[in-house]
Structure 1
Amino acid sequence: MPRSEDFNRDEVLDKAKQVFWMKGYNGTSMQDLVDATGLNRSSIYNSFGNKMELYQQSLKKYQDESGCLFNRVKEKNRNAMESVGLAFLYVLDEMVHDKENKGCMLINCFTEMGNQDEALLGLLEANQEKMHGVFEDLVKQGQEDGSIRTDESSDALAHYLVSAFQGFRITGLGVRDPKILKGIIQNILKTIA
């Protein structure tokens, strides 16, 4: 009979997520995970699987948490163009307050591991599809309310916004000046206006 877990699984997963987020997959050792979680190696393996499985669970947790950003945008009931701008402004706020310069864990994963593991690639692609769907819904709404141009398809403009959003997140690792970042957002919005 398997032993029951005598720890809070969600808290341990959050601690592992923080280590992976800060150090990346390759920079994180099992000893780092033992130190951060307070569990011994066998408890980690028995409860979460190997390092890659724990990394995937950490990414999924991050993905679930970061998906709330788009829910916050939808709750504001603005026109579509304002909603798109709000998504970028929320991320700008996160970037400016990211004192450890961790960036987006999913984008970090894409740049470090995106071409090395099929399961990770599937998770990352699913995240992009979800983001594309949110942006496409906003673009369609904007094309209907007149705030977003109609000379290109909602699909094409949504792909542009996903690319711009991810590029913006990467830019925020090197550029910390809110004035410059707001200028980038304005140029992105001009492109779809």
Structure 2
Amino acid sequence: MGRPKQFDPDVAVEQAMEVFWQKGYAGTTPQDLVEALGIGKGSLYNTFGSKHALFERALRRYRDSQALALIEMLEESGPVKARLRRALAFLAETDLADPSRRGCLAVNTAAERAGVDEPATELVQRMFDRTEAAFRALIEEGQRSGEIPSERDPAALGSLLLNTVVGLRLMARVSEGPDRLTRVIDATLDSL
């Protein structure tokens, strides 16, 4: 009979997500994870299998908590452009307020792991697809309400908005303040 686990795996995934978010996948060592989770290497591998399996779980946790928050903001009531402005401004403000300037774990993972890590790339692509679909739905809603010209292609605008978010999240990592990000948000909304 084995000893019972002395830690909560769900809490451990949350803690691991923070480590990967701060250091990236390649920059995170098993020792970093052991120290952050307060467990032994044996428990780490027995519970999660590998560093990569834990990384995938951390990406899913990020998707289920952080990434869905943007979609929820877009689905609130009110004028479409106002909701979009609030959502984009929220992302910029959140990123700028983070002293570590971690940015977005999905965007960071795309930059670091695309082309070398198929499972992580697929997880990020699904997050991006879901966000883009939410943008497209918002554009279509704006077209029905008359806020956005009906001749504009909702799929193209959804892709543009996803690209804007990815760019904002990267720029916020190195921006000294909100000015450039605010200009991007203003220009994006003006382009609709």
TM-score range, shorter chain: over 0.9
List aligned pairs for 1:104-123, cutoff 5 A. Answer: 104-123=104-123
Per-residue CA deviations over 1:131-170 (Å, capped at 9, x if unaligned) read 0110011000011111123332111110111111111111
C-alpha contact (below 8 Å) 1:103/1:170 kept by paired residues: yes
Between the aligned partners of 1:39 and 1:129, the Cα distance in structure 2 is: 35
Alignment-derived partner of residue 71 in structure 1: 72
C-alpha contact (below 8 Å) 1:114/1:124 kept by paired residues: no
Between the aligned partners of 1:11 and 1:176, the Cα distance in structure 2 is: 33
C-alpha contact (below 8 Å) 1:83/1:138 kept by paired residues: no
Alignment-derived partner of residue 43 in structure 1: 43
Count of residue pairs brought into register by the alignment: 191
Between the aligned partners of 1:135 and 1:17, the Cα distance in structure 2 is: 26
Between the aligned partners of 1:59 and 1:70, the Cα distance in structure 2 is: 17
Letter of the structure 1 residue corresponding to residue 70 of structure 2: L
Between the aligned partners of 1:12 and 1:48, the Cα distance in structure 2 is: 10
Between the aligned partners of 2:165 and 2:48, the Cα distance in structure 1 is: 32
Letter of the structure 2 residue corresponding to residue 37 of structure 1: L
Between the aligned partners of 1:11 and 1:186, the Cα distance in structure 2 is: 39
C-alpha contact (below 8 Å) 2:16/2:37 kept by paired residues: yes
Structure 1 vs Structure 2 CA RMSD: 1.4
User: Where in structure 1 are there 5+ consecutive unaligned residues?
Assistant: none
Post-superposition shift, 1:3?
5.1
Letter of the structure 2 residue corresponding to residue 183 of structure 1: R
List aligned pairs for 1:79-158, cutoff 5 A. Answer: 79-158=79-158
* Identical columns (%): 29
Letter of the structure 1 residue corresponding to residue 159 of structure 2: H
TM-score by length of 2: 0.94
C-alpha contact (below 8 Å) 2:74/2:138 kept by paired residues: no
